[in-house]
Structure 1
Amino acid sequence: MQATVFNTFFRETKLAPDSDDFFSWVRTLKASSTGQPLLDFGVADAFMPPADELSEALSALAARRELHGYVYHHSAYEAACLRHATQGIRSSSALAVLPTSGAKSALNLLCLALIDAGDVVLVTTPAYPIFSTMAQRLGATVVELPLLEENDFLPNLQQLSAEVLARAKLLVVNYPNNPTGKVPSQAECDRLLALCKLHDILMINDAAYADLLPADQPRGRFLYADGASSHCIEVHSLSKSLQIPGWRLGFILAAPAFIQALGKLSLLHESGQPRILLDAVTTVLDDRAFAEQLCQCIAKRRTVLVDILQANGLTVFNPDGAFFVYAQCPPGLINGRTFDTAYDFSHYLASELGILTIPYQVAGRSQVRFSVAFGGDDETVFSRLRQQLSQVKFRHSGKVSR
């Protein structure tokens, strides 16, 4: 049998993000650790059980034999997702949803639908790498827009040449943002969308963390204004807000004509999602009680984590949002040890202090991300974090950007 020959892109392109080697090292470290478990602030996984109502609904539905076939349309679920995603949007423009097997599947589907060889795609960095990697696979030129403190962690389109702006087809963003935590205001959303309209660029917002803010917390919405759907598509996920990442449920929110056309391609991409999962989620999606409980837990954890990091000399960017606290890496320790890159600092935290973080190297800047989606009791985890960090002194004083 002839050996499988991978295509040129597979052979010559780094499919994983730059931090893949770091993650491999972390997995080895976890497997070899003895004694107390590592303090894992690197994860962005489920950390609470799903709502009792959701678990009970799934248990009841699982025994129904007629619910285990293919599902190509589920009007009640789609309507519930639409209500869920458009809360607070006053635009008169019609919107519709296309269910997908999680946000990752949705991003891949949009790549297949929208990108031709030779297109120019603008992406923010740091970012979830799926869209940029697949865009390159399809022959697009990917232009990175660094998210920096001086730009308030928003993409700066004005830095681009007139030629790039004229050729750009897509702008891919992620707000609330992973890893920076940036939550844009309505004015910031409107300004960015206006620039996309001016240059005829279609924006795709990966809104996977949109539900992780309390209902009373101010936040902007890209699809808020009339006509916004002509230049904006959103990808949503239920993984975090319902604490069910393994269920792989997400959806695309866009103008009805786009959803109808995209639905045809979707049939080549996947065969729907399990009916019992869709039915179970439909029963709880209009109830904000669990979401608010989750949001309050995240906000409380983030506040405590910021205070601990600040008290121990780390500069923290804490705009407001989602699962994450984004910190600047110090240049070194008072005893002389230096950290040249974010990976150096993350290696040190993990190997010497047992604290897992995710490193990001952006435009020569070194930052690390702490996730508040950790398992375990808050008091125990934070007490251990204080104890571990108290053993060292970093070479600069910290502050919090609020």
Structure 2
Amino acid sequence: MELDNAEQFHRIKRLPPYVFAEVNALKAAGRAAGQDIIDFGMGNPDQPPPAHVTAKLVETLSDPRIHRYSQSRGIPGLRKALAAYYDRRFNVDLDFDREVIVTLGSKEGLANLAQAITSPGDIILVPSPSYPIHAFGFIIAGASIRQFQLGDSATVVEQLSRALRHSVPKPLAVVLNYPANPTGQVVDLDFYEEVVAFCRQHGIYIISDLAYSEVYFESGPPPSILQVPGAKDVAVEFTSLSKTYSMPGWRVGFCAGNPKLIAALARVKSYVDYGIFTAVQVAATAALNGPQDCVDEMRKRYKQRRDCLVEGMRTAGWETPSPPATMFVWAPLPEAFTHLGSLEFSKHLLTEAKVAVAPGVGFGEYGEGFVRLGLVENEQRIRQAVRNMKTALAR
């Protein structure tokens, strides 16, 4: 009997080949050959965390007690800090003990929540294009995914209504992500009010991903779904320190909202992890409670990079919308290259321009025809990338 083929396992069979792996393999091969690859492929912040945050981490490490097991729910101080953030930013009152839990980044939190609440055959409504864990966290848990295409707020509510009419059994939950990864799309509080009213009426949970709450530009501060009265009856929301404070490798995220869903997530986490290293949690508390000028600087940096990249692409003949939020540019394929599809075009850019981007098809069915560029290179490197791309597109 063959034992080395992972495809024999049921859950693995439900996962398609990882689209980004092909581009990553080409990127690694190019770098191994000494090529200078300009990498826009991953939303991986290139700046260090704020100095006062890393200083708090170093200070905390000297306490010999800090190296023991932590708490899977998160230390009380960090949960209180997240509740305080929601209070000052959104005017939302959270019970830090019942309505807040710390997660190992929002990705782990989403996956473990899926395990906690999903039974085989449950239907989950997921936007397309979307961050892969929004769909695959539930697929791994045994759910059936029904995708709806991102559009304006009215279109989304219409699609939710249509899905309710044609889904058997009734959908268990809907995933929302605004500001959206990969598209950068934003919504207002009126949109959330419509969705909350719909889901409360029909008994559908809402899982909101607000990872880019602080990465916004002209559109103004994005709202939280928990600002809607009654939202906590059906909704939880994930947030993260990864982008706001340039702390992606620290893996500090949160889930807040509906106490029943928080308790379910806490129950699963109690079996599978001991929580984030306590010193990291103490430093994360300093990030939320400390000076916030670093957040303004982060926002300004991404805006300058966005403007540099979008304007450069346009001068190269690649017309691209300017995103109102997030650290990504969601670019339609140039007309002369649409026949390639997003994966082959991404490989073409890597080979001919030495520029790595993420193919849109990796974000779902409706992501085809686009590529995502992360604003994770400085402006000098962005201008170099534009020159390379201009030459490659002209060929």
**Range into which the TM-score falls when normalised by the shorter chain:** 0.7 to 0.9
Question: 1:248-397, aligned counterparts within 5 Å?
Answer: 248-286=251-289, 287-332=291-336, 339-361=339-361, 362-363=365-366, 365-374=368-377, 377-378=378-379, 380-391=380-391
Residue in 1 that maps onto 2:78:
77
Q: Residues 306 and 253 of structure 1: is their aligned pair in 2 closer, same or farther, counting only changes over 3 Å?
A: same
Partner of 1:285, secondary structure, is: helix
The answer for the alignment partner of 2:27 in structure 1 is 26
The residue correspondences of 1:1-400 to structure 2 (distance < 5 A) are 3=3, 8-14=9-15, 16-34=17-35, 37-72=36-71, 73-91=74-92, 96-147=99-150, 156-160=159-163, 162-164=165-167, 167-213=170-216, 217-286=220-289, 287-332=291-336, 339-361=339-361, 362-363=365-366, 365-374=368-377, 377-378=378-379, 380-391=380-391
Moved more, 217-226 or 40-49: 217-226
- When the two structures are superposed, what TM-score results if normalisation uses the length of structure 1? 0.86
Please tell me whether the aligned partners of residues 94 and 255 of structure 1 are also in contact (alpha carbons under 8 angstroms): no
The secondary structure found in structure 2 opposite 1:144 is strand
Moved more, 362-371 or 54-63: 362-371
Aligned-partner Cα distance in 2 for 1:215–1:280: 31
CA contact (8 A) 1:42 1:370 kept: yes
Residue type of the alignment partner of 1:52: A
1:301-349 per-residue CA deviation (whole Å, 9 max, x = no partner) reads: 112211112222223233401110111002326xxxx642011221121
Q: Which amino acid is the alignment partner of residue 208 of structure 1?
A: A
- Please state whether the residue corresponding to 1:212 is helix, strand or coil: coil
User: C-alpha distance in 1, partners of 2:95/2:173?
Assistant: 22
Please, which runs of 5 or more residues in structure 2 have no aligned partner?
Answer: none
Task: Give the distance between the partners of 1:151 and 1:306, measured in 2 at CA.
Answer: 28
Deviation at 1:60, TM superposition (A): 1.3
Q: Specify whether residues 364 and 186 from structure 1 end up closer, same or farther in structure 2 by C-alpha distance, changes over 3 A only.
A: closer
Q: Runs of 4+ in structure 1 displaced over 4 angstroms?
A: 1-7, 91-95, 148-155, 392-395
From the superposition, tell whether residues 392 and 8 of structure 1 become closer, same or farther in structure 2 (CA, over 3 Å): closer
Is the CA contact 1:100–1:252 (under 8 Å) kept in the aligned structure 2? yes
Assess if the C-alpha contact under 8 Å between 2:148 and 2:156 holds in 1: no
Query: C-alpha deviations, 1:5-39, integer Å up to 9, x for none?
Result: 866324523355333333323322332243xx222
Give the corresponding residue for 1:399: none
Q: Deviations over 1:180-202 (max 9, x none)?
A: 01121222222233332333211
In structure 2, C-alpha distance between the alignment counterparts of 1:152 and 1:87, rounded to whole Å: 32
The sequence identity of aligned pairs, in percent, is: 23
Change over 3 Å in CA distance of 1:293–1:11 after alignment to 2? closer
Structure 1 stretch displaced more, 25-34 or 204-213 = 25-34
Shift of 1:142: 0.8
1:3 Cα offset (Å): 4.8
Q: Cα gap change, 1:150/1:385 in structure 2, threshold over 3 Å: closer, same or farther?
A: farther
**Corresponding residue SS for 2:335:** coil
SS at match of 1:118: coil
Distance 1:386 1:247 in 2: 32
Describe the shift of the 1:119–1:354 C-alpha distance in structure 2 as closer, same or farther (beyond 3 A).
same
- Provide the aligned length of Structure 1 versus Structure 2: 386
Question: Considering only aligned residues, what root-mean-square deviation do their CA atoms show, in Å?
Answer: 2.9
Greater fraction helix: 2
Matched to 1:283, the amino acid is: A
CA distance in 2, matches of 1:150, 1:228: 17
- Deviation at 1:390? 3.4
Q: Structure 1 residues 382-391 or 102-111, which shifts more?
A: 382-391
Q: Which amino acid aligns with 2:48?
A: P
TM (norm. structure 2) is 0.88
